[in-house]
Amino acid sequence: MISIAIIFGAIFGFLAIILGAFGAHLLKKKLTTEQLQSFETGVKYQMYHAIVLLILGFQLTSKNTIDNYIINTFIIGVILFSFSIYGLVISSAKNKKLRFLGPITPIGGLFLATGWFLIIYKYVVLYF
60-81 pLDDT, tens per residue?
877 788 999 999 999 999 999 9
- Domain boundaries, given as residue ranges, for the chain: 2-123
- Residue 123 pLDDT > 80: yes
In this prediction the pTM is: 0.92
CB neighbour class for 93 (10 Å; exposed up to 12, middle 13-18, buried from 19): middle
